């Protein structure tokens, strides 16, 4: 995982972008009005984290497992895993 920090772009990013090697997760996307030499335009500022595909898959598996456990707890179901 590489935390790219706060990024600014003139194009609104997708929340998740997948390329050949990585999964890019963009969160906390905010519109920012920028004035430069009398011209005002919109930019987007957001937090970006880059994962390898394997890292992202492992993270999703862990989150899914936790969500299943929480749901079973809420429902009163015994999950032996």
pLDDT one-digit tens code per residue, 32-81: 999 989 999 999 999 999 999 999 999 999 999 999 999 999 998 876 65
Contacts of 8 (CB under 8 A, 6+ apart): 32, 43, 44, 45
Residue 76 DSSP one-character state: T
Q: What is the pLDDT of residue 78?
A: 76
> Does residue 11 sit within a domain?
yes
Domain count, the chain: 1
> Does residue 80 sit within a domain?
no
> Does residue 81 sit within a domain?
no
Q: Does residue 24 register a pLDDT over 60? A: yes
Could you tell me the residue range of the domain that residue 53 belongs to?
2-75
């Amino acid at each position: 995982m590489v935390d790219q920090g706060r990024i600014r772009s003139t194009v609104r990013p997708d929340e998740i972008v997948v390329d050949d090697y990585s999964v890019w997760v963009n969160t906390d996307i905010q519109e920012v009005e920028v004035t430069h030499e009398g011209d005002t335009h919109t930019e987007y500022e957001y937090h970006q984290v880059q994962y390898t595909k394997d890292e992202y898959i492992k993270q999703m598996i862990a989150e899914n497992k936790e969500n299943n456990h929480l749901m079973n707890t809420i429902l009163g179901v015994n999950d032996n895993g």
